[in-house]
Amino acid sequence: MDSPYIEWSPAMELGHATVDRQHKQLFDLAASLVQDADHLRVMRTLATLSEYVVVHFRDEEQLLADIGYPGLEAHKQAHDAFRNRLARLYGNAGGMSLDSIAAEVRQLVNDWLANHILVADREYAAYLPA
């Protein structure tokens, strides 16, 4: 389970202050979660992360609507899929070991979040006003 954990890096910046700050916050929350040895606190961080993902996706989708991004619908579907995976994890996490929770969060961040920011989000960055 110890695949290298992808951390936020300036290479992920899109040049939009709010989006970049929110992306970093998502990584920070996930990183603190996988290092935490207290189940109750992990559950609380997972709840915070889930809520923050909802806020971030809502803000990002509003931004994409505002700039008339043509890929908005597909982008929303990608967000929905991630939101659902995270909600499922939160729903199951009460009965999971910390190692299993950390492994799933690691997978969500490495396989989905980092890739989404570096690929899908980068595609809309070209549409942002300079």
- Chain positions contacting Fe ion, by CB under 5 A: 121
Burial tier of 130 (Cβ tally within 10 Å: 0-12, 13-18, 19+)? exposed
Nearest distance in Å: CB 23, Fe ion? 9
CB of 88 to Fe ion, least distance (A): 19
Residue 41 vs 119, nearer CB to Fe ion: 119
Task: Annotate 53-112 with three-state secondary structure.
Answer: HHHHHHHHHHHHHHCCCCCHHHHHHHHHHHHHHHHHHHHHHCCCCHHHHHHHHHHHHHHH
Taking the complex as a whole, how short is the minimal distance between the CB of residue 17 and Fe ion, in angstroms? 16
Select the residue whose beta carbon is closest to Fe ion and give its number.
121
Handedness of CA 114, 118, 119, 123 (dihedral sign): positive
Of 5 and 112, the one with the shorter C-beta distance to Fe ion is: 112
Closest approach of Fe ion to the CB of residue 10, in Å: 18
Nearer to Fe ion, 44 or 58 (CB): 58
Nearer to Fe ion, 38 or 80 (CB): 80
